[in-house]
Chain A
Amino acid sequence: MRLDYPVNIKIIRVPCTGKVDVMHLMRSIQMGADGAYAVGCLEGACHYKQGNLRARERVMHVQKLLEEVGLEGDRVRMYNLSSGEGPTFAAYAKEMTEHIKKLGPNPLKKWSTAKNKE
């Protein structure tokens, strides 16, 4: 479809969002990503039955954990769509980017860049 969406989104492939671990999302933020989101099938239509529902719970859990350590929970989100919805994917990508821009850069970035320099 070649629809435009922001350059700053990088995709990591998994067989089902049910495989996405709390650890993967946390690590992304820890390593300095400004935002992370999981994209899965529409609820009720998970290719592997309920993986996306698990992912949703994990995302909510990560949001809580981030709030607890003083970061914005909403840096991590979950979006649902069907694999045929190209324009919706692009729309969500733009939405997430705008939203993260409003939140500003990840405060941990200074810490992780410093760590990498060691």
Chain B
Amino acid sequence: MCVAKAICYDDVERESTLTVGSIILASGSQGYDPSKLDFLGYGKYPNVVTSEEFERILSASGPYRGHLCRPLDREEPKKIAWLQCVGSRDTNKCGNGYCSSVCCMYAIKEAMIAKEHVHGELDCVVFNMDIRSFGKDYEKYYLRAKDKDGVRFVKARIHTITEIPETGDLSVRFVNEAGEILEEIFNMVVLSVGLQIPETSKVLAKQLGIELNKYNFVTTDPFTPVITSRPGVYTCGVFQGPKDIPSSVTEASAAACMAGGDLVEARGTETKAIEIPDQQDVAEQTPRIGVFVCNCGINIGGVVNVPKVTEYAGTLPYVVFTDHNLFTCSQDTQDKIKEKIIEHKLNRVVVASCSPKTHEQMFMETLEACGLNRYLFEMANIRNHNSWIHSKSPELATQKAKDLVRMAIARSATLKQLNEKVISVNKQALVIGGGISGMNAALGLGKQGFKVFLLEKESELGGFSLKLHHTIEGKDVKTYIKELIEQVQQNPNIEVITKARVTDFAGYKGNFTTEVAVGEEKQKLEHGIIIVATGAKEYIPIEYSYNEDPRVVTQVQLGDILEDKGAAELDSVVMIQCVGSRNKENENCSRICCQNAVKNSLAIKKLNPETNVYVLYRDIRTYGLLEEYYTEARNLGVIFIRFDEDHPPQVEPSSEGMIVKVKDHILQKDLEIRADLLALSAGMVAEDTTELCGIMKFNRNPEGFFIEAHVKLRPVDMPGEGIFLCGTAHGPKLITEAIAQAQAAASRATTFLSKSHIKLSAITAQVDTEHCVKCLTCVRSCPFEVPVFNTEKQVIEIDDAICHGCGVCASVCPRQTIQLNFYEDDQITSKIDALLAGGM
């Protein structure tokens, strides 16, 4: 049945033994099955689906081909409800007392995408207890959904769904803040199911002798987030604890760092090197073009007449061989292409298939494997730009495929061999910032045998962590920091430079030079990579009389008070959440304040159960396994009162204490609470790195945190190659998350540093110095200040190591004497001419 014959139907189970040095468990989770929660109607009412099923409904390759339909009658819904916390935060019905961390965000996403799919109006309601959009920029996404797209968020946990049999619609009854019982009818209900560890993972853990916690997540210590109870076995992702994609990807790199750290001596001993034949020089040859047209299963072949396109290609200038394949990207087709290149002495290859973003690199490697320069390759996208979007017009799509192939063939005849510059990698590393993240990153690299320069602007290591006492799990931060600093200072590979300031910077990936000043003394450091770990600090409030009254403190200060004096003298403590966060000046959530408030509340109650503790909040964001502490706090009598953004608490000083006025959301009455101490959950603010960024040209977002290369898939890489990021410099996070991210950055840096040399892209600008009139327009136009005028030699020099290949200089040069490799003028116009000469 499989068209590509990729399935071996008579295959049998085989057991094999592998001898390895480290193991990483990344067995993930499965969605909670809500069938047991019969009051929600899943499995009974066709229009009640799980969020996983809803994702499939939205998907172009799903059951309804991407049309938003409901299961019963395939009608397009006009009103959809999402029920949050199904299978999470529920010790009553299903025993999962933790928060699954991702459901709030995915429900918001599903609502937004559903609205995009529907051409008319779609009313989306998310029934929730708290909206947990705590990740970097996640709060902004929530605000967009709420304020711009009109997604409704209702604070209610639904206990029953009933179906209206005549229509298949679902009735949802809930109580609003005023105590009124309301009913809304929905066409469809989506259950936001949580993440659960499957039985198979429990079995796996038992076989490996790994400890799991009561919810079957791997037991880890907050200071060693990826280490399991068995030495040599590491973990990452949701098996470690519920988390989203960026955190999972980060932890994966962290696990790689730790696992790799064990194997330093053996690095490279069992890897295989790919042998590449010598490149033959085809510069003097007439182009001999081979064209391979892809069917991509039915993706292209189902719409475009591939044999006709192939036949047509054969009629075009310089084409000496054509073929069409079922899947051009498969291994066996690569072998076939190599065969044909050699047999027909091809010196150009055109593949008509999908987007170059998918397989261009792989095809280029295929050319290299035959001794052909990789830049003699061109692709025509007859799938994403053709068959996928003109699926209803096969004849027009076939004609367009011919046009695109004709364009690609014309361009490929103009392509030239390009040489990638090979540069060596300096194996030393620079870590900027000596806090928890910087130190962990430095150790991650130092233990792998690399020399590290660790810069710290203060006179001692530790950063913001020096102000903290305990984690919410009760771990002692001060002891940890002391031991960490000792490890760093004793590691022979790490050179710590305190009171350091970066004064100058030059170079590119693998070859950076940074000038560091300590007082008046300056030194130049050479290194191959950079890890930025400049950290963040607590917001200094201007609200709630903070500066005016000593009874108003921040959570960090409260921590100090509890450490010094305990809670014996405290009769009543009020905490206010979201101070300096989630407002007009700073739209983001600072992520750690809710658990901080819960941590201090628990500390107070344990020191003095008689103390009244009130937490005034907007959403309680104790995500993941932190949820249990929130439950414990409530059980110990901490009172949580919700206020909304437009009606914040009012605070007045008095001789008896701070008087806090707030409207209780359940009683619907105004309360006046007298507090001995008012603790503000002040958010996290990035350290001021303006000077550093000016010198090293790093980009920060409007809140001052550094921008990563890709939010989800490259969370510790910075856009510049060879530069990495970790800790609170990236965004607010817990100590355990900062440690994981630091180890991840070290891992990513190791990938770079362990190469003996790297190849730079050949897509760079070239100056024909003979025809250059030295007008210096290119010098003034380059966004990266790359072209320089060499006053001795009297020529413009473009260093192809730092040229980004954008082509601006080539386009502004009045004499057209700069060309961008691979995008030379005739290489672009060849496509225009080929397209239009044939008549569009």
Contact = CB atoms under 8 A, between A and B. Distances in A.
Contact of B836 (A14, A15, A19, A33): A33
Interface stretch (B101-109, B172-180, B381-389, B607-615): B381-389
B205 interface: no
A31 B836 contact: yes
Contact of B806 (A8, A10, A23, A48): A48
A5 B807 CA distance: 29
Nearest to A87: B116
A31 B833 contact: yes
Contacts of A32: 836, 839-840
Given A18-B807, A18-B811, A24-B828, A7 B783 contact: no
B673 interface: no
Interface residues of B, number: 44
Interface of A: 1-5, 7-8, 10-16, 18-21, 23-24, 27-28, 31-34, 47-51, 54, 58, 87, 90, 112-113, 116
A62 to B, nearest CB: 13
Given A7-B396, A7-B397, 18 more contacts: A1-B60, A2-B388, A2-B391, A7-B399, A11-B385, A13-B356, A16-B806, A19-B806, A23-B829, A24-B825, A24-B832, A27-B832, A27-B833, A33-B832, A48-B808, A51-B807, A87-B116, A113-B839
Contacts of B389: 2-5, 90
A47 to B, nearest CB: 8
Contact of B840 (A8, A47, A58, A87): A8
Contact of B783 (A1, A15, A49, A112): A49
B381 A11 contact: yes
Interface in B90-125: 116
Given A16-B806, A18-B808, A10 B403 contact: yes
Interface in B593-652: none
21 contacts: A1-B60, A7-B396, A7-B397, A10-B407, A12-B832, A15-B806, A18-B807, A19-B808, A19-B811, A23-B829, A27-B832, A27-B833, A31-B832, A31-B837, A32-B839, A33-B835, A51-B806, A54-B781, A54-B811, A87-B116, A116-B837
A61 B829 CA distance: 19
Which secondary structure dominates chain B's binding surface?
Answer: helix
A8 B407 CA distance: 14
Nearest to A112: B836
Contacts, number: 106
Contacts of B404: 10
Given A2-B389, A15-B823, A23-B825, A48 B804 contact: yes
Contacts of B388: 2
Contacts of B831: 12
Contacts of A47: 806
A28 B808 contact: no
B487 to A, nearest CB: 40
B508 to A, nearest CB: 16
A16 B808 contact: yes
A4 B392 contact: yes
Contacts of B392: 4
Most buried by B among A2, A12, A24, A112: A2
A24 B829 contact: yes
Most buried by A among B116, B404, B832, B835: B832
A62 B807 CA distance: 19
A24 to B, nearest CB: 6
Interface in B475-517: none
B527 interface: no
A18 B783 CA distance: 11
Contacts of A3: 389
B840 A33 contact: yes
B783 A50 contact: yes
A19 B820 contact: yes
Contacts of A34: 840
B812 interface: yes
B449 interface: no
A23 B812 CA distance: 12
Interface string B168-192: 0000000000000000000000000
B541 interface: no
Nearest to B837: A116
B829 A27 contact: yes
A2 B403 contact: no
B340 interface: no
Nearest to B407: A10
B400 interface: yes
A5 B685 CA distance: 45
B803 to A, nearest CB: 11
Nearest to B396: A7
A21 B388 CA distance: 30
A103 B840 CA distance: 16
Contacts of A28: 832, 836
B155 interface: no
Contacts of A11: 381, 385
A48 B784 CA distance: 8
Nearest to B391: A2
Contacts of A21: 811, 825, 828
A21 B385 CA distance: 23
B59 to A, nearest CB: 11
Contacts of A27: 829, 832-833
Interface in B764-819: 781, 783-784, 804-808, 810-812
B763 interface: yes
B820 A15 contact: yes
Contacts of B806: 15-16, 18-19, 47-48, 51
B690 interface: no
B393 interface: yes
Contacts of B399: 7
Nearest to A46: B783
